Amino acid sequence: MSEPSEVPKKEEQEEEVTAEPEVQSDDSSEDEAAGDTEMDFLRSLFSSALGLGSAEKVLDELSLEGVARYVKSGKCKNIICMVGAGISTSAGIPDFRSPDTGLYANLQKYNLPYPEAIFQIDYFKKHPEPFFALAKELYPGQFKPTICHYFIKMLKDKGLLRRCYTQNIDTLERVAGLEGEDLIEAHGTFYTSHCVSFCCKKEYNLDWMKEKIFSDAIPKCDKCSSLVKPDIVFFGENLPARFFTSMKMDFPRCDLLIVMGTSLQVQPFASLVSRVSKSCPRLLINMEKTGQADPMLGLLGFGGGMDFDSDKAYRDVAHISTCDDGCLALADLLGWKVELEELVKKEHARIDSQDKNETAGESKGAATKGDPGSAELKAKAED
């Protein structure tokens, strides 16, 4: 699932296929981070009201071209990407809220009391069947990374990516070549799973969970027979501790924030845009403008939301397009377009070849199991 895991406690889910809660963790580090967030807000509030703090203009123009010139200047070395379901829709994974094609619009068949229940931890523990039926439809490994995913990988390869913060749980960032250190999977991931029993918590890998889901079996722990749940964040669960500890290190160092494919409606993820310095440029690539500052707070000089259109705008750029088109346009301005297109073509061919080999292996295994004699004759004939 790509966005099924995005939510703050009981806030609405974001337009991503990632379950998402707004949470603090029970770790003391997360409690401290939550306190830091409140203090940061108060500091920002007072500094804005009193006219304190610098707001240096870094971009020579509030446009995609201006962002590209800044990247090419060599002054930009710590890019953070914040991404949501919009970067995965071109791979075939639905977002949450599109009226006809979104995930919530197509859950009637599961007879849920309300759409969000499928990602609510208490409901899941009592009725896991709807979630695992949906998981079978959207399971990682059935989709290929998009142009946008590979653009982020290029940022890494060129030594420009500090971190990618994702709301998605589809693991496509990993498939595209980002590693655990490159990622903060804010709303969890299908990459690992754990027994829900507090006394057990045994870990399971992606292949184990896949075998259970595709055999239409409810995953149960081999050790204690309790339910096993993918490590995605459901409504009512805590965000990973690493989300809170990493954001305190990463965002003060960020010199370009690129936000893609998210409506920036779910906390605490959405608040990350305000954690960069006042001089840090922020680029939004999305189908509509999101994350804008509250107008009333803006009049008072408060708030850390995006400002694309006011007379005071000096660092925020909105490029309205699909995420793939926006990444291609930026890559073109950077002189990377051909390289990006070749990377996508090569990696998709590799994935197709790998899938073909796996399918052939499964077919051969099934033939051997069903009719050992004929499989043996066929193998000899091929030799």
Q: Catalytic positions, please? A: 187
What CA–CA distance (Å, rounded) separates 327 from 154?
Answer: 11
Distances (CA, A) of 36 to 4, 6, 227, 271, 272: 28, 22, 36, 13, 13
Cβ contacts of 320 within 8 Å, gap of 6 or more: 286, 287, 288, 289
What CA–CA distance (Å, rounded) separates 134 from 144?
Answer: 19
The encoded tokens of residue 266 equal 């779910």
Cα–Cα nearest to 233, from 23, 81, 88: 23
Query: What is the residue type of 83?
Result: V
Cβ contacts of 71 within 8 Å, gap of 6 or more: 79, 160, 256, 334
Neighbours of 85 (CB within 10 A): 35
Angle between helices 323-334 and 147-157 (to 10 degrees): 40
Q: Which contacts of 330-336 are long-range, i.e. CB under 8 A and separated by 24 or more positions? A: 330/64, 330/67, 330/68, 330/151, 330/285, 331/151, 331/154, 333/64, 333/65, 333/68, 334/68, 334/71, 334/72, 335/72, 336/154
Query: What is the residue type of 195?
Result: C
Q: Which residues are annotated as a binding site?
A: 85-89, 95-97, 167-170, 195, 200, 221, 224, 262-263, 286-288, 323
- φ, ψ of residue 241 to 5 degrees: the values are -60, -35
What CA–CA distance (Å, rounded) separates 272 from 281?
Answer: 14
Please check whether residue 67 is in contact with residue 256, taking contact to mean a CB–CB distance below 8 angstroms: yes
Please check whether residue 355 is in contact with residue 322, taking contact to mean a CB–CB distance below 8 angstroms: no
Q: Which residues are annotated as a binding site for Zn(2+)?
A: 195, 200, 221, 224
Cα-trace Rg, the chain: 22
Q: Which residues are annotated as a binding site for NAD(+)?
A: 85-89, 95-97, 167-170, 262-263, 286-288, 323
In the chain, DSSP assigns E strands to 5-6, 19, 79-83, 161-166, 183-185, 188-195, 203-205, 228-232, 256-260, 282-286, 316-320
